[in-house]
Structure 1
Amino acid sequence: MNTAPPALLDEAPAGPPRRTGWYPLDVTEVRHLSADTVAVTLHVPTGLRDVFAHHPGRHVVVRHRQASGTSGTSGTSGTELRRSYSICPPPHTPTALRLVIKRSGSGGFGEYATTRLAPGARLELSAPTGTFALPRLPGAHHVLLAGGTGITPLAPMAAHALRRDPACRVSLVHSVRTSADAVLADELAELKDEFVDRLTVLYVLTREDRGSGGGPLARRLDASGVRRLLAAVDARPGPDTTFALCGPPGLVATARHVLADRGVDPSLVRWELFTSDGTPPRAPEPAGQAPGAGEYRVTALLDGRRRAATVLPHDPVLLDALLRSHPDVPYACREGVCGSCRAKVVAGQVTADGQHALDDRERAAGYTLVCRARPRTPDITLDFDA
C-alpha cells in the first residue's frame, strides 16, 4: 500500500481516520463467487454510516476469534485472527458494505468465511482506512492491473472514476488462473455495457488453455507479457496516464519494473499487495546503548494518546511489545502487506525488512510497519496518527 498524492478522485476527509475501535456488523448475505471465494455483505446501521463512509480503494480489518481446539469455528475465546479486506460495494447497493474473501489455507478466517459463515452472524470490523486511490487527473487514461483477488479494490475504483469524470478512460486487466476464478466478471461486464466507449476489460488466464496455445494473453504475466498488455490497451507513458496495481508481490514488482523502464513518473503509479512472500520477521538485533540487558522502550502516539511499552529480548518486533499492554494498537496481516500498522518514527531508529506495503517515498519520510520493525536505539517514538 502506498502514499496517495495530494489530490485524489475522492478527497479524503480532513485529519487522520480513527485507527482504534471495533464495530460489530451483522452479515446479511454470503454469496459464493468461486470454489474458494465468497462475497460477504454486512448491514451498516444508521448510527455507523459516518464511521464506514469510505472512498474506493480503502480497506477494513476483520477481527475473528477462533475457539480453542477447533478449525474455523467462531468463538469468544481462543486464537484471535485478523485479516485486512478491501471494501467492494455491490454495484446496485453502493451504501452496503461488502468484502470479497478467499480461502488461502486451513484454520484461518478465509476457511471459516467460505465454509461456515452464514447470514445472521456478526463480525467485528475496524473503521475503513488506507490511501490506495487514483490521482485526480481529468480526462486521464487509468490503467488498472489486478492479480487474483486484487480485483477487489480496483473494480470500485474503475467504476468511481468513470462516473465522476466523463472524459476519462479506464483499461482494466485481470490476471487469474482460469475463467472460473474471475470473480466480479459479471459486474465488470455490466460496467462495460454502461461505459462501452470508455472501459476496456481484458483477462489473462494463466492456467487455462483456450484452443491451440490459448491465444497471446493466456500466459503468466512476466515482463514481456506486461509490456504486450500495455501495448494492447494503448497505455502510453505520459502525464495523462495513471497506473494502479494490486495483486501478489511478484506481479506487482514485475509491473513496477516495466513501468520504471518505460520512464513512467512514479507519482502516477499506485500499488497495493494482498499477500507476501512469507518471510518471517527476525528477532531484534542487540544495541549497545540499551538501558538494560536487551531492553528497549517504545512510545506510541495513537488517536491523540500516548502508549508506552518495554521491548524485551524475546519480542520479535515492536508490535509484540506494544500489544502486551495495549491491545488496541492496529495490525492485521503481520507480514508487512496490509499497512494497518503503519507509523512514523519521530524519535529513535528502527530496522525492518519485508515492508511490502511501503514505497520509497514513505520510507524516506520515516514511516515503518510496526509488525516488521525492530529497535536500533534504546528509546523509540512512533506516531500512528501521522
Structure 2
Amino acid sequence: MARFHPLRVAAVDRLTDDSVTLTFDVPPALRADYRYTPGQHLAVRRFADGDGAEIRRTYSICSPAPGPEQPGGPEQLRVGVRLVEGGAFSTYAFKEVAVGDELEVMTPAGRFTLEPAPGRYAAVVGGSGITPVLSIVTTLLEREPEATFCLIRSDRTAASTMFLEEVADLKDRWPDRFQLVTVLSREEQQAGLGSGRLDAERLAALLPALVPVPEISGWFLCGPYGLVQGAEGTLRDLGVDRHRIHQEIFHVDDAPSVSVSTAPAPEHSTVTATLDGRSGTWPVQDGESLLETVLRNRADAPYACKGGVCGTCRAFKVSGEVRMDRNFALEPEETEAGYVLACQSRPATATVELDFDR
C-alpha cells in the first residue's frame, strides 16, 4: 500500500523562471519503501492555511534510480515542479518551501516506467514531460551499455526549458548512444529544426528521418494531452504496436471526457472495497465517484490527482460494472484485465466490489 511519510527538504533549486526541483532526504528506515523504477512519481500533500483542506499533487522523480551501490534504496529523491498559474501546490512549492521544511510524501507509484534492458528506445516529450523521461534515460544509459536513446523534446523557448544542463550532460557523456532533437514553438534556433508546434504532421515526417521506427523497443510519450495523442496516432500510423507505446499525460484541460461504458446509472448502489486487508461496504451518494465514497469511510484510500492521470487510485473490479469518465493512466491490457481508476469510476450496477490491494 502507498503511504505518506514526512520527508525533509534537502535542496530547492531553480531551473527556470517558472520551475524548481525539490530534493528530499530519505531516512535509512524508509529507503526500502521509497525504492522506485525510473519514470515513477511521488504524491506530495499539504494542508491549506485557513480551512485546513488537504491538497495533493503528483510530481515525477527526475533523478536516476538507485543501483546496486544503494541496495537499501535511495538516500535522496528529486522531483521537478513547474509553476501553474493559480496552482495551490505549485505556488507554495515555488515561493515558500525552504531547505529544512518537512513535507508529506507518498511512496513511489506509476507504471510509465522502463527497467534497463538492451535495445533502442525513443521519447517524445513536451514541457515538463521531460521530468520522468530524464530519470528513464539516465538510468538506462548508466546501467545498460547495449542501449541507445533518442529524445525529441518540445518547449516554448530555450529559457523555459527544464533540465537544459542535465540533458546536455547526457549528450556529452554518451555521444554515440544518446540523440537529442529540440523543437522550440515560440523561438527560432540558430541550428537544428525550425520553430513551431510538434504536431502529428510534423512528427510523421520527422520520426522516420531520425530513427528506424520499427526497430525501437519502446516509445515514451509524455506531456500535454494534444502532444501525446498526436504522437501516439502518428506512431500507430507508422505501424508501431500499441504495446511498445507508453504514455503519461501531464495536462488534460483540453481532453474530452468520454465514458468507457454506456450502461445507465442505477437508482441506488453500494460499493464494497478491500483496502490494506480490510473490507467494508457503503452506499454511493448521488454524483459521487467510487473513490469519494471510499474516502468518506476510509481516509487511507490511495489517490493523488483525481483527474484520471496518475493511476494512484487503480483498483481491481471484482464484481459489478462501472462507468469511467476518463482514463489517461491505465493501459488497454489493464482495463481488459479488470482494473479501473476509482477516481473516475461511477457505479453502473446496484453493487460494485473493488480490491485496492491487487
TM-score normalised to structure 2 length: 0.91
Deviations 1:45-66 (A, max 9, x none): 1111111111111111111111
Residue of structure 2 in register with 1:244 after alignment: 220
Deviation at 1:282, TM superposition (A): 10
Q: Distance in 2 between matches of 1:286 and 1:295?
A: 14
Q: Distance in 2 between matches of 1:246 and 1:384?
A: 26
Of residues 156, 168, 191, the one that matches 2:170 is 191
Asked if 1:114 corresponds to 2:98, the answer is no
Moved more, 305-314 or 28-37: 305-314
Residue of structure 1 in register with 2:342 after alignment: 370
Deviations 1:189-214 (A, max 9, x none): 11211111111111110111236xx8
Q: Distance in 2 between matches of 1:192 and 1:319?
A: 44
Of residues 325, 329, 333, the one that matches 1:353 is 325
Q: Distance in 2 between matches of 1:125 and 1:135?
A: 23
Contact 2:258 2:326 in 1 (8 A): no
Of residues 330, 337, 344, the one that matches 2:316 is 344
Map residues 30-109 of structure 1 onto 2, 5 A cutoff: 30-68=12-50, 78-89=52-63, 95-109=75-89
Map residues 1-386 of structure 1 onto 2, 5 A cutoff: 18-19=1-2, 21-68=3-50, 78-89=52-63, 95-134=75-114, 137-138=117-118, 140-210=119-189, 216-238=193-215, 240-277=216-253, 294-315=267-288, 317-386=289-358
C-alpha spacing 1:329/1:278, structure 2 compared with 1 (3 Å): farther
Counterpart residue identity of residue 261, structure 1? D
Deviation at 1:253, TM superposition (A): 0.6
C-alpha spacing 1:119/1:273, structure 2 compared with 1 (3 Å): same
Counterpart residue identity of residue 329, structure 1? A
Deviation at 1:162, TM superposition (A): 1.2
C-alpha spacing 1:234/1:278, structure 2 compared with 1 (3 Å): closer
Deviation at 1:136, TM superposition (A): 6.0
Q: Distance in 1 between matches of 2:160 and 2:126?
A: 11
Contact 2:116 2:140 in 1 (8 A): no
Deviations 1:16-39 (A, max 9, x none): xx23x2100011111111111110
Deviation at 1:137, TM superposition (A): 4.8
Deviation at 1:269, TM superposition (A): 1.3
C-alpha spacing 1:227/1:278, structure 2 compared with 1 (3 Å): closer
Counterpart residue identity of residue 229, structure 1? L
Q: Which blocks of at least 5 consecutive residues in structure 1 are unaligned?
A: 1-17, 69-76
Contact 2:155 2:161 in 1 (8 A): yes
Q: Distance in 2 between matches of 1:132 and 1:286?
A: 30
Contact 2:64 2:138 in 1 (8 A): no
Percent of paired sites with the same residue: 39
RMSD: 2.5
Deviations 1:328-372 (A, max 9, x none): 111111111111111121110001122111232222222211111
Deviations 1:307-332 (A, max 9, x none): 332101242x1111111111111111
C-alpha spacing 1:228/1:178, structure 2 compared with 1 (3 Å): same
Q: Distance in 2 between matches of 1:282 and 1:57?
A: 27
Moved more, 333-342 or 275-284: 275-284
**Greater length-normalized contact order (CA 8 Å, ≥ 6 residues apart):** 1
C-alpha spacing 1:286/1:250, structure 2 compared with 1 (3 Å): closer
Deviations 1:164-215 (A, max 9, x none): 221111111111111112111101111211111111111110111236xx86
Deviation at 1:105, TM superposition (A): 2.4
Q: Distance in 2 between matches of 1:90 and 1:132?
A: 14
Contact 1:63 1:82 in 2 (8 A): yes
Residue of structure 2 in register with 1:4 after alignment: none
Deviations 1:206-229 (A, max 9, x none): 111236xx8634210111221233
